[in-house]
Amino acid sequence: MRELVFFLEERSAAAMLEGLLPKLIPDDVKPRFITFEGKQDLEGQLVRRLRGYRSPNALFVVMRDQDAHPDCAVIKQRLEQLCNQAGRRGVLIRIACRELESFYLADLRAVEQGLGLKGIAAQQGKRKFCAPERLHSAKEELRKLTNQRYQPVEGSRAIGSCLDPENGRSPSFRNLVAGIRRLVGVEAAKSKDS
């Protein structure tokens, strides 16, 4: 059995992926989550943890938030250097533009369904929810939108299983989904128009 091993900066990312991955990966791929206490902890331990992972059938994904850093490419390059130091080539590196919560704001139907709220999906047409990666603080926006019902770990767990993998409003979410599918050898669902 193959393993898909995620190195994540926080538990909320693992909670989201637990719900999303069954829609993306085949049954013969077992996900595993290694979470850290923030991006500094992730970067500080990544080389050692990657080097020490001995499963011959493991595929690796490193994911973290962009937060206030001005350039995703610089973050990705730094993570690639760390993976190379660990002797691991072909690691999928994904950056959530600004914050993980940008994924959720791009799919308000999933937020409404996951948190059991009414009327949130109808706001998807608002400019800020059409391109949520431009928001300064997606997490705060999500808390306001849900009247403080959203809490990072439990909210991510509830919303993750409701996320639409074909949703393209968040380019970094779309890239995460495409990268995971490519890594495990699964093609995207065919468009209804084709």
CB of 167 within 8 A of CB of 160? no
CA distance linking residue 187 with residue 183, whole number of Å: 10
CA distance linking residue 23 with residue 25, whole number of Å: 6
Contacts of residue 170, defined as CB under 8 A and 6 or more positions apart, other chains included, come to: 97, 102, 103, 105, 106, 107, 132, 133
CA distance linking residue 183 with residue 124, whole number of Å: 31
What domains appear along the chain, each with residue ranges and CATH number?
2-99+168-184 (3.40.50), 101-160 (no CATH)
Per-residue pLDDT of the chain (194 residues; tens, 9 = 90+): 899 999 999 999 999 999 999 999 999 999 999 999 999 999 999 999 999 999 989 999 999 999 888 788 999 999 999 999 999 989 999 999 989 999 999 999 999 999 999 999 999 999 999 999 988 899 999 999 999 999 999 999 999 999 999 999 999 999 999 999 999 998 665 433 33
**Taking Cα atoms as reference points, which of 36, 42, 47, 40 lies closest to residue 14?**
36
